[in-house]
Amino acid sequence: MTRLQPARQHTAPHSRPTGAARFPLGGRAQALCRALGGGAAMALALGVGTGAGPTLARALGLAPSGFAARLVPAALVSAVALALVLGAVRRSGHRPALLGFGGPVASLRALLIGVAVTGAAASGVFGLATAAGLLRWSAPDPGALAAFLVTNAVVALLLEALPEETTLRGYTWTSLRGAFGGAGAALGTTAVFLLVPGASTVVGAVTARLVGAEGGQVGLAPEGEHPVDYLVLLTVFGLTLVAARTAVREAPLWAAIGTHLTFLTVNRVVLEGDRRHAGWHTVHQDAVVPLLVPLYLLVAMAAFAVIGRVSRRLRCG
């Protein structure tokens, strides 16, 4: 899980590969059940992947700390999550476009918007913090940094960004949008997002024991994170992801995926670069530095809101 880390359906719901479609009306209770189903799919996928993935990697003879070994649980998480959600969408008679997927060009454009907006917000906030003396940096190692960016992007995409956005800002948000409106869907999706980490630790512990491994810690937050701080950050992050997902008309889910990937990458370099051997890291952090993370998320959220508003006005015009 992340660490410190649909509007109206028209008569031809498959003709518009945007976030504007919704599931057929079935009442708020059914919408809530589908929304929780999206969260359950992610919790199950994450628990199975993290619980069984390391054992599977060892069975394949992969070095525990190597890239391939990290890739196994990540791929398992995406495989389970996407199979569950896309299967549910197809059973309802819809296509993946319902969730916010789109064609290659639209998807790449939306992904780059998510990366650019979040990266610019983080660069601005951390740049000001560096100028103010709150952060000092090591000398960068370009080769190590490039290798980290590539391997981290692949693992983070499969372990977190793609499955979480598909299940939550895809399936859960789309389920809630038609029954509860935009604000209700944003808050409801974020609430489900907060339930996933704790539920996934339970699934992960059970799965690990079933495959003969030692069960991990069960709790509301990943090991080493303060639960309250983690959930507050997750709330801000979740709302930012919804803002990204609703800012773009075509393939909007990829804007959220780009935002998610950028968030993970930035934080892992700035806050954990030394431990992760990222090739660049901070050598001094002021006590207020962790507060800069929700700050740059708020900046990104505001930027996505402006982009979405401008986009809607241009369409209306």
State residue 24's pLDDT score. 57
240: tokens are: 């930012």
Using DSSP, state whether 254 is helix, strand or coil.
Answer: helix
- Continuous segment of H or E residues that includes residue 229: helix 227-245
State residue 50's pLDDT score. 94
Tens digits of pLDDT across the chain (317 residues): 555 443 333 333 333 334 445 565 568 899 999 999 999 999 999 999 999 999 999 999 998 889 999 999 999 999 999 999 999 999 988 899 999 999 999 999 999 999 999 999 999 999 999 999 999 999 999 999 999 999 999 999 999 999 999 999 999 999 999 899 999 999 999 999 999 999 999 999 999 999 988 877 888 877 777 889 999 999 999 999 999 999 999 999 999 999 999 999 999 999 999 999 999 999 877 788 889 999 999 999 999 999 999 988 887 76
User: What sign does the dihedral 272-274-276-280 (CA atoms) show?
Assistant: positive
- The candidate with the shortest Cα–Cα distance to 230, out of 290, 173, 270, is 290
Q: What is the pLDDT of residues 91-142, one digit of tens each?
A: 988 899 999 999 999 999 999 999 999 999 999 999 999 999 999 999 999 9
State residue 219's pLDDT score. 85
CA-CA distance, 155 to 241, in Å (whole number)? 19
Please, are residues 79 and 87 in contact by the beta-carbon 8 Å criterion? no
Q: What is the pLDDT of residues 13-37, one digit of tens each?
A: 333 334 445 565 568 899 999 999 9
State residue 23's pLDDT score. 62
State residue 69's pLDDT score. 95
- Please tell me whether the overall predicted TM-score, pTM, comes out greater than 0.85 for this model: yes
- The candidate with the shortest Cα–Cα distance to 293, out of 271, 315, 274, is 271
Residues 6+ apart with CB under 8 A from 42: 81, 163, 164, 167, 168, 196, 200
- Continuous segment of H or E residues that includes residue 283: strand 282-285
For residue 203, give Cα distances in angstroms to 120, 155, 190, 248, 254: 36, 21, 21, 34, 28
Q: What are phi and psi of 28, to 5 degrees?
A: -70, -35
Rounded (to 5) percent helix, strand, coil in the chain? 70, 5, 25
CA-CA distance, 174 to 92, in Å (whole number)? 13
CA-CA distance, 248 to 259, in Å (whole number)? 12
For residue 46, give Cα distances in angstroms to 204, 210, 218, 219, 222: 7, 15, 13, 14, 12
7: tokens are: 């509007």
CA angle, corner 33, sides to 28 and 36, nearest 5? 120
